[in-house]
């Protein structure tokens, strides 16, 4: 393997240490950052994510206010809770775990969150501010990708970035964040013709598809940076990314592993956004 690993686990751990110090400092000013986590129903994966988020909050000293609601909660009841949390001065960030049960309109709920508490960055105001290049809460996974690039002091100015995937939670926002750093960005997706040709000219490849090793190592340009957002569980329980790791690592300059790459960064960025929101409360 020629590439250097970008170790998301180590980077996340050092960021969380710094966050714990920032939280301690805020507490000296009598501000305790607070994150409300709302889970509706009992989707097993969502339950795991929510408890990981709660534990991560506790470790850095963020107050986490948990709301576990039954699957039959109505949209009105959920909107009433969001309203209450919007008005609660102890709460700096509100996270409604997705997906919501089918009878609830996700957009209506995300739009009800006050933009100044939208630490997930999914509110249309946050998205609009990202599009127009204004400061905003950045959604957590793409923000984590940007921190990983920053950790290797990668200068995106004028670079060719190829993003594979156009979801609202990863592909589109990460493309906009790279554009804001003056990269030339191409977004590839399921209808893209000749994906290989796009990937071959990329200085930075960001894969967010959800298909095991679909990005072939031989497509990677020598010296490219490869960020693999994909998490694909195999039948034997192993996790693999969207990129053919060994073959890509033989050509890349830097590459993120799966697991231990982008994954640990996502929750860290949620904590970062919550602390940032609490700082804004002080000012």
The residue from 47, 129, 166, 281 that contacts ligand NAD (CB under 6 A) is 166
With CB under 6 A as the contact rule, which of the stretches 18-26, 146-154, 196-204, 262-270 interacts with ligand NAD?
Answer: 262-270
**53 given a catalytic annotation:** yes
Q: Could you give the CA distance from residue 65 to residue 70 in angstroms, rounded to a whole number?
A: 17
8 A C-beta contact, residue 41 and residue 70: yes
Q: Which residue stretches of the chain are H helix? A: 8-28, 44-60, 75-87, 106-112, 124-131, 140-151, 171-180, 195-200, 245-249, 262-282
**234 given a catalytic annotation:** no
Tell me: does residue 167 bind ligand NAD (CB under 6 A): yes
In the stretch 184-223, what mask flags binding to ligand NAD with x, by CB under 6 A?
Answer: ----xxx-x--x------------xxxx------------
* Residue 113, Cβ density class (10 Å: 0-12 exposed, 13-18 middle, ≥19 buried): buried
Pseudo-torsion of CA 28, 118, 47, 142, nearest 10°?
-100
In the stretch 37-76, what mask flags binding to ligand NAD with x, by CB under 6 A?
Answer: ----------------------------------------
Q: Which two tokens stand for residue 248?
A: 């890509």
Question: Choosing from 65, 92, 97, 228, which is the catalytic residue?
Answer: 97
The residue from 263, 268, 272, 274 that contacts ligand NAD (CB under 6 A) is 263
The residue from 12, 38, 112, 164 that contacts ligand NAD (CB under 6 A) is 164
Tell me: does residue 232 bind ligand NAD (CB under 6 A): yes
**120 given a catalytic annotation:** yes
Reference 59, options 120, 11, 13, 10; nearest CA is 13
Count residues near ligand NAD (CB under 6 A).
24
Active site residues: 53, 97, 120
- Footprint of ligand NAD (CB under 6 A): 141, 164-167, 169-171, 188-190, 192, 195, 208-211, 229-232, 262-263, 266
């Amino acid at each position: 393997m020629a590439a250097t690993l970008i170790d998301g686990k180590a980077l996340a751990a050092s960021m969380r240490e710094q966050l714990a110090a920032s939280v301690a400092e805020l507490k000296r000013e009598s501000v305790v950052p607070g994150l409300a986590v709302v889970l509706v129903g009992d989707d097993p994966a969502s339950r795991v994510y929510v408890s990981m988020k709660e534990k991560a909050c506790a470790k850095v000293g963020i107050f986490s206010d948990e709301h576990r609601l039954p699957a039959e909660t109505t949209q009105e009841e959920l909107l009433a809770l969001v309203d209450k949390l919007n008005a609660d001065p102890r709460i700096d960030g509100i996270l409604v775990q997705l997906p919501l049960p089918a009878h609830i309109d996700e957009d209506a709920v995300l739009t009800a969150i006050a933009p100044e508490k939208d630490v997930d960055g999914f509110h249309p105001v946050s998205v609009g501010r990202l599009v127009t290049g204004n400061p905003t809460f950045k959604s957590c996974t793409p923000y984590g990708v940007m921190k990983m690039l920053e950790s290797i002091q990668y200068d995106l100015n004028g670079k060719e970035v190829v993003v594979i995937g156009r979801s609202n939670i990863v592909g589109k926002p990460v493309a906009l964040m790279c554009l804001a750093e003056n990269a030339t960005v191409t977004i590839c997706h399921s209808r893209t013709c000749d994906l290989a040709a796009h990937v071959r000219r990329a200085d930075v490849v960001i894969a967010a598809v959800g298909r095991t090793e679909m990005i072939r190592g031989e497509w990677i340009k020598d010296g490219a940076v490869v960020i693999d957002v994909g998490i694909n569980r195999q039948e034997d329980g192993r996790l693999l990314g969207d990129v053919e790791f060994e073959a890509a690592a033989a050509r890349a300059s830097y590459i993120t592993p799966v697991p231990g790459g982008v994954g640990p960064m996502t929750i860290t960025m949620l904590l970062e956004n919550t602390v940032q929101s609490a700082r804004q409360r002080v000012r």
